[in-house]
Amino acid sequence: MITVKPVVPQDVINLLNEASKLDPAAIRALIKNRVPCSGGLADHPTIQVDTTEDGEPRVGMLGVINGLFGVDENTWGPVIENFPNDTRDPVTFSLNPTFRE
């Protein structure tokens, strides 16, 4: 039987940091990847979506994950990615200091 527990942003940060240490290239690719999305998704109040130079909306994994927890006054979610200069090093994740649960 699977036990489901409540998840808070720090749980997500811990899991992403663990995964990034295990496979830096895979997690970097997942976090950097953006896919085209609809205007409806782009208008979601908590899922973070960016746009291309042509104005096309795109969404990534972290934008959807952050959507679970809401946004701060600047419309940013609680989980921040930190990309090291050396692409072989793991991406690290931390808590957005302006986010309040």
Average pLDDT over residues 39-66: 96
pLDDT at residue number 93:
97
Average pLDDT over residues 83-94: 93
Query: Is the pLDDT score of 86 beyond 80?
Result: yes
Residue spans of the domains in the chain: they are 9-95
pLDDT tens digits, one per residue of 1-51: 788 889 999 999 999 999 999 999 999 999 999 999 999 999 999 999 999
Which of these, 35, 32, 37, 44, lies nearest to 75 by C-alpha position?
A: 44
- How many of the other CB atoms lie within 10 Å of CB of 90? 21
Contact 96, 79 (CB under 8 A): yes
Burial 14-49 (b: 16+ CB within 10 A, else e): eebbebbeeebeebbebbeebeebeeebbeeeebbb
pTM higher than the cut 0.85: yes
